[in-house]
Amino acid sequence: MLIVRFLISLLAIAMIVVGTVLMVSPVPLGILIILLGVLILVMANPHARPMLKWIRHRWPWFSERVRDLEEHAPSGVAGPLRETDPNT
């Protein structure tokens, strides 16, 4: 189980890096890929939740995007994201 969690975390970090690189592309897929990578990282690794809470507190625009994602996500996905809301 630990190896699976580690591999999923690596996948999520790779998605965040690829999303960062794609931020300069003409098609704005970078933000979506970063959000998905963060979502996967938070779901696979509970230790990443305080980091995401700090990021959401530091950058309110990012927190708004995550909040929009929470509204449309299934309950199993939205739960960990709600735990990282800096306003709660």
pLDDT at 18: 94
Q: How far apart are CA 53 and CA 11, in angstroms?
A: 21
Which DSSP letter does residue 46 get?
Answer: G
Q: How far apart are CA 38 and CA 49, in angstroms?
A: 10
pLDDT, mean over the chain: 88
Sign of torsion over alpha carbons 48, 84, 81, 39: negative
Q: What is the pTM of this model?
A: 0.73
CB-CB contact of 78 with 43 (8 Å): no
Q: How confident is the model at residue 16 (pLDDT cuts 50, 70, 90)?
A: very high
